[in-house]
Structure 1
């Protein structure tokens, strides 16, 4: 197994950093994207000057780039893993040509936890020796010519820890190494003799810090503070209030470098790249992450290398397995002749934050330097805004000509928008290569000759159980006659899962809600749920949040649930679905029984506003969402509608030649291996059979959930609940 200690630390901090950033608000600093003293405007008054991005050509496909440094002679040295070999490479012409300096010694080709490169060309790495409680961290030093030896330093073992491991290592100069352990203690170590120069401790290990070296200065950051120390004297310095406030707004540092021995810092966050002179009053944003890969959801920057103020490199890794080479080096060069902000602004809007759209924004913007994509997710969960409030505001802005160009329509009343003329016909936008896609899914919202919206992904409502509780192909009435089949599930989870397979059958021709159908829905689920006198929500083993079928599978294996019902596609782990089936008595999986048939859940459904200001850019963006590049990228939003990408998602090709087994505590064992053609075709065939889009309207869903929970909890009966839903929803539909 290959490790990346820096990324290990960043991954640990990531969730905390996101909370930290969201609390802070993430508002941009009011600065231009230009180096100090640069920039200007053209004759039309536009601000000019922007860093332009390109990706360097690497000599091989790298799965990881551990560290990157500029040497004294101007050459650039990287340490990474390419073609399953840990190695060191060098370029003297900023990536035009590369030369392999050496491979790591054979004894260091496995179980390397972390690696660091010095400005003198030295490489240090941490090696895991032994296993379990006997595991020890061994430190090695490789000289610029590849000669290597052991650094005579050992981490002290902490009594409260099972084993004390390394979180992060980095060079401070050419002769010292900063090492952080699992207790959160930093040791500044002489690599020559392993002696500890000094230690840095910042309280308990739960408040974790990550360190960065800029010349002789050391910067430590946690989710709540920034600390600055002189590595030579050990004295604490003041980073300045401006930097503390700036990081509160921009989020956790990913990578940092300096050009002046540590008097100032250049650093990258999810919001872009910044420059700050310690003690100063202004943090300057040089690069806006929304205009390039720095702000991409899946891209993690592990190393920043300042060539000069106007040129820099960033070593990145990509969290998407299908994104090609997982690691690479981005080059940013300042262009005085490029507008600071692109000429066109494309507005993209969704109710909820969508990672796949966030990823698409970065990729599209990289290919269209003349377009600035502004992505807005209306519901943050922090301001009290409801779905109904958001939709009313959206409609008002659209009708006033101030609304978005591209709408991500998940949770919105698509048919209503189409009838009001808000959505443009997309027939000409996606008419190419129809045979390459699941056309019934793509045509989910075709009305006569017009196509008002298109799902870019989809999910499949499924049930998985032993034969005593489920038989593939059975209808809703047959399934729900098994009294108690749904017991022990939380009422909200029952309603939210079976909503998908039934809601499409509830609309009448006059567009009102069919009250009798809703009543039948409640009656069936109440019958299958049973009395559950103890109250499911009070059970320790109650359902996990969400509607992913895999979450229910763990309850099914543990014997808590009799059936697992949910959506397949957010985490399309087909091998796990098959493995669970083998452990059930006569078990199988298939489409979720419901009042509608052959149902799928449209996801990341997009439409183009008929009143938008950038129709051509909007069409280009929608087309980009259907490209092979974007279809193969998975961010948890569902299965691709492109057949080739769908197959690639489920076929397990990544395990070709690297088969292994995984054992879970529930007693299930499954193989990480390519799927058989029969298994692939079964799921492809199931996808081909899907014809009916589930109802996508959050206002209706909220009303059904509210009343459905009362029915299953015994607070009201199905008839009264259905009447309450119909009254509320029909009033909403009439607006």
Structure 2
């Protein structure tokens, strides 16, 4: 039986060097950056069927190296010349008639581990025997060792060995928190959890030392620091080395050393694109590297003539790293290889907002200001008052695209003709419930009334708000009430009413309710998960709150609700009440007065606003502001390419499933497009949430929710803290 990674003396080197490096050197990892000339070139392998999709990790079956596709029971394997992907049906999977496989976690000539549509995990042995696996309901990753042993990890922090012939599992060790990497190199499971990087020797059954260089480097990608869905994957090379793929690029580490060499930058490759997701790495016998992404398989070969030196440097600052910013930078860097992008994240590695602001101030005063600032969360008014941002209207020809923009959104922060920031995207606050009950909602207090009414009438063990966190009534409430609370000046009476509503919603949601908090989707923050909650309302009593983010995912779902199928009439409203025209401007970009590279800064802004960039945003980035991009997305209703059918369990008032229905999710039709387009063109109430103010309100709100302060006391504390902040 063959596996991808043939291990000889490498096994010994892996264990021995781990001890030697960590005990003797004590040195931190040295990252060797790209040289000025010569580097690895990325090329997508030809594949006649488009994207690869949710395939397995690379495996070697019958001498063919590739990834196994669910649904089709096929191995997509790399051609001998390394330029194309071919498909080959796998008889053992095909004979098992597994048409309901959703995800394949591990595949080899020893068998397969997969997740079926019914959410159960199954194992198929090489003799064709299929068994359900126990203990892996929350599976994350799985790998076969070279000798055919199967190991997997789950979201509970457990690492288990799976018996391929029976499906039985045995816990071998445990991690701490969520895993962000899980690979087997030789006899070692290499995994990353919330504590950092670990080696676990499957032969001896004990944890071994991790080389210091790897410990530092891999530890930086532990789960709480990852902001995208891109995986960290590790594979063996051909010379006692390993390769690491991560959001920052592709790296090589030689066992026993302290140098980790960067082979390709994440900004100019698939590795750094948060709209894609890496599946697996593989090193060929000739040294060619391959990476499987959802979008396809890519090769990485060394080209001695490749120009990698940058002619200029562009410094970009953001308070918090997120997928929207990462994708923008990745796309810009790919189109502008001569520009080296230096992304500076303010709140990195546990830094507070206050720490980040002190560091930024020091940076600016020392003459090292960023060129571009992603202003989301920052005190824009303060930056404008201190004349730290360029008036973009004076050089609009350098960044304004040829086609129209939604000027009411883009220019929301116009000050008497002076434009120091522009919004590249926006979100829309929304509320949803059954139609008759939605008519009762005109304020956040009305939502509190309805939540209390639901708790009195319906199953006490069910969630009505679909929160991610017990403090969500405050954070989500702020997107509706921000301008009323903190508009021209803080309003104590409004704050008292707001905290009272938050407390009533919280108490009703969690009153004797062990199942109150429900994680609807891991891909979006709670305040932006409106459509996920509305989806919950299709099956049961849910008051959907939060923001709507995009057309293809959110608006298509909202406009596809069919009363004849559901047996009840659900409805939603953009805005808290019928007169609301509020929106949340996001990805707000400004250029600093002291920018040393203003030309590339303008080019970056132009890239962010052009139609192709706007059209290809992530689902949760927010709506485009480019009119041409919007029209392109609207036009999708002319065919059914983006339509799909899904099933949904519908619950009765007693909390029990009474029916399962199928829903057709379709793109908006012409009438729906016109209504939506008219609405967004009438938006005139920007809701810009400043991080420091939100932090003050949430801190006081948390005390109110826990019962240690009344609503009035929470309002007084908020007012006091805001006054202190104004004096700083």
Q: Which has the larger radius of gyration?
A: 1
Partner of 1:398, secondary structure, is helix
In structure 1, distance between residues paired with 2:115 and 2:508: 50
- For each residue in 1:330-369, what CA deviation from the matched residue of structure 2 results, as whole angstroms up to 9, or x when unmatched? 4242446645x63433222222221211222223222222
Secondary structure, aligned partner of 1:265: strand
Check the 8 A contact 1:55/1:328 in 2, yes or no.
yes
- Is 1:212 aligned with 2:196? no
Aligned partner of 1:618 in structure 2 is 601
Q: Structure 2 unaligned segments of length 5 or more: list them.
A: 6-26, 223-231, 456-464, 519-524
1:111 and 1:306 map into 2 onto residues whose CA distance is 31
1:590 aligns to 2:573 (yes or no): yes
1:107-150 per-residue CA deviation (whole Å, 9 max, x = no partner) reads 568456549898xxxx77638799979986434xxxxxxxxxxx
The secondary structure found in structure 2 opposite 1:342 is coil
SS of alignment partner, residue 389 of structure 2: coil
**Contact 1:51/1:334 (8 A) holds in 2:** yes
Match of 1:63 among 30, 35, 52: 52
Structure 1 segment 194-593 matched on structure 2, within 5 A: 202-203=172-173, 210-212=182-184, 217-223=186-192, 225-227=198-200, 241-242=211-212, 245-246=215-216, 248-249=218-219, 251=221, 254-260=233-239, 263-278=240-255, 280-287=256-263, 289-293=265-269, 294-307=271-284, 312-318=288-294, 326-335=295-304, 338=307, 342-380=310-348, 382-383=350-351, 385=352, 387-427=353-393, 428=396, 429-435=398-404, 437-466=405-434, 469-471=437-439, 476=443, 480=445, 484-485=449-450, 487=452, 493-504=472-483, 513-515=488-490, 518-519=491-492, 521-522=494-495, 525=498, 539-540=512-513, 546-547=526-527, 548-550=529-531, 553=534, 563-569=543-549, 572-578=553-559, 582=563, 587-593=570-576
1:601 maps to 2:589: no
Distance in 2 (CA, whole Å) between partners of 1:66 and 1:534 is: 44
Hey, what's the Cα distance between the residues in 2 that align with 1:724 and 1:206?
A: 37
Worse-superposed segment, 422-431 or 533-542? 533-542
Match of 2:74 in 1: 86
Map of 1:24 onto structure 2:
none
Give the TM-score taking structure 1 as reference length: 0.70
CA distance in 1, matches of 2:675, 2:725: 41
Q: Deviations over 1:517-544 (max 9, x none)?
A: x245336547867978968666536566
Q: Which residue of 1 aligns with 2:23?
A: none
Q: CA RMSD in A?
A: 5.1
| 356-365 or 455-464, which deviates more | 356-365
SS in 1 for 2:599: helix
Shift of 1:302: 3.3
1:126 paired with 2:99, answer no
Whether 2:632 is the aligned partner of 1:662: answer no
Greater displacement, 606-615 / 522-531: 522-531
In the TM superposition, residue 598 of structure 1 has moved relative to its aligned partner by 0.9
Q: CA–CA distance in 1 between the matches of 2:119 and 2:476? A: 43
Q: Distance in 2 between matches of 1:493 and 1:229?
A: 42
Q: Does the CA-based 8 Å contact 1:403-1:612 persist in structure 2?
A: yes
Question: Relative to 1, partners in 2 of residues 1:556 and 1:343: Cα closer, same or farther, differing over 3 Å?
Answer: same
Is residue 686 of structure 2 the alignment partner of residue 693 of structure 1?
Answer: yes
Tell me the TM-score normalized by structure 2: 0.71
Q: 3-state DSSP class of the match of 1:152?
A: coil
Partners of 2:362 and 2:578 in 1: CA distance: 35
